[in-house]
Chain A
Amino acid sequence: MTKLEAVIQPSKLDAVKEALLAIGIDGLTVLEVRGHGRQKGHTEFYRGREYSVDLLPKIKLEIVLRDDVVDEVIKAIISSAHTGKIGDGKIFISRIDEAIRIRNEERGTDAL
Chain B
Amino acid sequence: MAPGIGQQLKAEYLEGSERMRSEFEHTRSGRAVLLGRTAMVDSLAHQLWRHHIDPDLALPAGLALVAIGGYGRGVLAPYSDVDLLFLTDQPALAAARQDAIRALCQDLWDMRIKLSPTTRTLEDCDRLHRDNPEFNISLLDCRLLAGDYDLFRRLHDQVIPRAVLRDWQELVLLLAEVNETRHHQAGDTIFHLEPNIKDAPGGLRDYNVSCWLALLNGFSRVREWTTITDHFPASLRDRVDEARDFLTSVRCFLHYRAGRDDNQLNWEAQQAAAEAQIGYDGGADAAEWMRYYYRQARVVNRLFSSMMSEVVPTRSSLFKQFQSWRQRLSTGEFSCVNGRIFLQQPSALVSPEHFFNCFEFVAQHGFKFAASTDLRIEQALPGIAAQELTGPQRWAALRKILIRPHAARALRAMQELGVLGLLLPEFRAVESLVIRDFYHRYTVDEHTFRAVDAIHNLRPDTKNGNRGLAHLVGELERLDLLILALLLHDVGKARQTDDHLTASLEVAMEVCRRFEFPPEDEEMVCFLVAYHMDLSAAMRRDIFDPETIHALARRVGTPERLKMLALLTYADIGSVNPTALSPWKAENLWRVYFATANYLNRSVDDERVHAGGEDEQVARIRLLAPHLGRRLRDFLEGLPQRYLRLHAADEIIQHVEMASQLGSQPVQTQLRRVRGDFTLTVIAQDRPGLFATLAGVLAGWGMNILKADAFANDSGVVVDTFVFTDSFKTLEMNIQEWERFQKSFRDVLSGAVPLEKVARKRGSRAGKAPKVKVQTSLNFDQESSSHSTIIEVVTQDRPGLLHRMAAVFAECGCNIEVALIDTEGEMAIDTFYLRVAGKKLTDEQCSQLRAALELELEMEP
A residues engaging B (CB < 8 A)? Answer: 9-11, 13-14, 32-34, 44-48, 51, 53, 56-57, 83, 87
Q: At the interface, yes or no: B256 with Cβ under 8 Å from chain A?
A: no
Are A46 and B594 interface neighbours, CB within 8 A?
yes
Q: Which residues on the A side are within 8 Å of B777 (C-beta)?
A: 45, 48
Known pairs A32-B582, A48-B775; A56 contacts B598 (CB<8 A):
no
Stretch from B122-130, B433-441, B538-546 contacting the other chain: B538-546
Complex alpha-carbon distance, A13 and B541, angstroms: 10
Q: At the interface, yes or no: B587 with Cβ under 8 Å from chain A?
A: yes
Q: Which residues on the B side are within 8 Å of A48 (C-beta)?
A: 775, 777, 779, 792, 794, 827, 829
Q: Give the distance to chain A from B475, nearest Cβ to Cβ, in Å.
A: 10
Are B588 and A57 interface neighbours, CB within 8 A?
yes
Are A47 and B584 interface neighbours, CB within 8 A?
no
Q: Given contacts A46-B468, A83-B542, could you give 11 more A-B pairs where the C-beta distance is less than 8 Å?
A: A10-B539, A11-B541, A13-B540, A32-B582, A51-B591, A53-B544, A53-B591, A56-B544, A57-B543, A57-B588, A87-B544
Q: Which residues on the B side are within 8 Å of A33 (C-beta)?
A: 584
Are B542 and A9 interface neighbours, CB within 8 A?
yes
**Cross-chain pairs A/B with CB under 8 angstroms, 8 sampled:** A11-B543, A32-B582, A32-B585, A46-B468, A46-B594, A47-B829, A56-B544, A57-B587
Are B540 and A10 interface neighbours, CB within 8 A?
yes
Complex alpha-carbon distance, A11 and B794, angstroms: 34
Q: Give the distance to chain A from B596, nearest Cβ to Cβ, in Å.
A: 10
Q: Which residues on the A side are within 8 Å of B794 (C-beta)?
A: 47-48
Complex alpha-carbon distance, A83 and B777, angstroms: 37
Q: Give the distance to chain A from B435, nearest Cβ to Cβ, in Å.
A: 21
Q: Which residues on the B side are within 8 Å of A11 (C-beta)?
A: 540-543
Are B540 and A14 interface neighbours, CB within 8 A?
yes
Which of A9, A10, A45, A53 is close to B598, meaning CB atoms less than 8 Å apart? A45
Are B544 and A34 interface neighbours, CB within 8 A?
no
Q: Which residues on the A side are within 8 Å of B420 (C-beta)?
A: none
Q: Give the distance to chain B from A21, nearest Cβ to Cβ, in Å.
A: 17
Sorted nearest first, the 6 A-B pairs with minimum C-beta distance are A48-B794, A48-B777, A32-B584, A46-B594, A11-B542, A11-B541
Complex alpha-carbon distance, A110 and B743, angstroms: 87
Q: Give the distance to chain A from B759, nearest Cβ to Cβ, in Å.
A: 28
B window 573-609: CB within 8 A of A: 582, 584-585, 587-588, 591, 594-595, 597-598
Complex alpha-carbon distance, A13 and B585, angstroms: 14
Are B540 and A46 interface neighbours, CB within 8 A?
no
Which of A14, A47, A51, A53 is close to B824, meaning CB atoms less than 8 Å apart? A47
Which of B598, B775, B792 is close to A44, meaning CB atoms less than 8 Å apart? B598
Q: Which residues on the A side are within 8 Å of B594 (C-beta)?
A: 44, 46, 51
Residue of A nearest to B777 (CB): A48
Q: Which residues on the B side are within 8 Å of A45 (C-beta)?
A: 598, 777, 779, 792
Q: Which residues on the A side are within 8 Å of B585 (C-beta)?
A: 32
Residue of B nearest to A50 (CB): B777
Q: Which residues on the B side are within 8 Å of A46 (C-beta)?
A: 468, 594, 597-598
Complex alpha-carbon distance, A83 and B540, angstroms: 15
Residue of A nearest to B778 (CB): A48
Q: Give the distance to chain B from A55, nearest Cβ to Cβ, in Å.
A: 9
Q: Which residues on the A side are within 8 Å of B824 (C-beta)?
A: 47
Q: Which residues on the B side are within 8 Å of A34 (C-beta)?
A: 584
Complex alpha-carbon distance, A6 and B34, angstroms: 56
Q: Which residues on the B side are within 8 Å of A83 (C-beta)?
A: 542
Q: Give the distance to chain B from A51, nearest Cβ to Cβ, in Å.
A: 7
Complex alpha-carbon distance, A44 and B777, angstroms: 14
Complex alpha-carbon distance, A78 and B468, angstroms: 36
Q: Which residues on the A side are within 8 Å of B539 (C-beta)?
A: 10
Complex alpha-carbon distance, A49 and B501, angstroms: 35
Q: Which residues on the A side are within 8 Å of B588 (C-beta)?
A: 10, 57
Complex alpha-carbon distance, A10 and B595, angstroms: 17
Complex alpha-carbon distance, A48 and B827, angstroms: 10
Complex alpha-carbon distance, A83 and B539, angstroms: 17
Complex alpha-carbon distance, A77 and B358, angstroms: 59
Q: Which residues on the A side are within 8 Å of B598 (C-beta)?
A: 44-46
Q: Output the residue of B539, B591, B597, B824 with the most chain A CB within 10 A.
A: B591
Q: Which residues on the B side are within 8 Å of A10 (C-beta)?
A: 539-540, 542-543, 588
Complex alpha-carbon distance, A87 and B594, angstroms: 21
Complex alpha-carbon distance, A83 and B542, angstroms: 11
Complex alpha-carbon distance, A83 and B544, angstroms: 13
Q: Give the distance to chain A from B813, nearest Cβ to Cβ, in Å.
A: 26
Q: Give the distance to chain A from B707, nearest Cβ to Cβ, in Å.
A: 14
Residue of A nearest to B540 (CB): A11
Complex alpha-carbon distance, A56 and B792, angstroms: 26
Q: Output the residue of A46, A56, A87 with the most chain B CB within 10 A.
A: A46
Residue of A nearest to B541 (CB): A11
Complex alpha-carbon distance, A53 and B829, angstroms: 22
Q: Which residues on the A side are within 8 Å of B543 (C-beta)?
A: 10-11, 57
Residue of A nearest to B584 (CB): A32
Complex alpha-carbon distance, A51 and B779, angstroms: 14
Q: Output the residue of B544, B591, B824 with the most chain A CB within 10 A.
A: B544
Q: Give the distance to chain B from A30, nearest Cβ to Cβ, in Å.
A: 11
Q: Which residues on the A side are within 8 Å of B542 (C-beta)?
A: 9-11, 83
Complex alpha-carbon distance, A71 and B827, angstroms: 57
Q: Which residues on the A side are within 8 Å of B597 (C-beta)?
A: 46
Residue of B nearest to A33 (CB): B584
Q: Which residues on the B side are within 8 Å of A32 (C-beta)?
A: 582, 584-585
Q: Which residues on the A side are within 8 Å of B468 (C-beta)?
A: 46
B window 446-469: CB within 8 A of A: 468
Q: Give the distance to chain B from A12, nearest Cβ to Cβ, in Å.
A: 8
Residue of A nearest to B582 (CB): A32
Q: Which residues on the A side are within 8 Å of B792 (C-beta)?
A: 45, 48
Q: Which residues on the B side are within 8 Å of A14 (C-beta)?
A: 540
B window 502-540: CB within 8 A of A: 539-540
Q: Give the distance to chain B from A11, nearest Cβ to Cβ, in Å.
A: 4
Complex alpha-carbon distance, A48 and B588, angstroms: 20
Residue of A nearest to B822 (CB): A47
Complex alpha-carbon distance, A33 and B539, angstroms: 15
Q: Which residues on the B side are within 8 Å of A53 (C-beta)?
A: 544, 591
Complex alpha-carbon distance, A35 and B595, angstroms: 19
Q: Give the distance to chain A from B193, nearest Cβ to Cβ, in Å.
A: 22
Q: Give the distance to chain B from A27, nearest Cβ to Cβ, in Å.
A: 16
Complex alpha-carbon distance, A32 and B775, angstroms: 35
Complex alpha-carbon distance, A10 and B540, angstroms: 7
Complex alpha-carbon distance, A48 and B584, angstroms: 24
Complex alpha-carbon distance, A16 and B174, angstroms: 53
Residue of B nearest to A31 (CB): B584
B window 104-161: CB within 8 A of A: none
B window 319-375: CB within 8 A of A: none
Q: Give the distance to chain A from B855, nearest Cβ to Cβ, in Å.
A: 19
Complex alpha-carbon distance, A48 and B794, angstroms: 5
Residue of A nearest to B591 (CB): A53
Complex alpha-carbon distance, A60 and B227, angstroms: 61
Complex alpha-carbon distance, A33 and B584, angstroms: 7
Complex alpha-carbon distance, A57 and B598, angstroms: 20
Complex alpha-carbon distance, A87 and B588, angstroms: 16
Q: Give the distance to chain B from A69, nearest Cβ to Cβ, in Å.
A: 27
Q: Which residues on the A side are within 8 Å of B541 (C-beta)?
A: 11
Are B584 and A57 interface neighbours, CB within 8 A?
yes
Residue of A nearest to B583 (CB): A32
Residue of A nearest to B795 (CB): A48
Q: Which residues on the A side are within 8 Å of B595 (C-beta)?
A: 44
Q: Give the distance to chain B from A74, nearest Cβ to Cβ, in Å.
A: 22
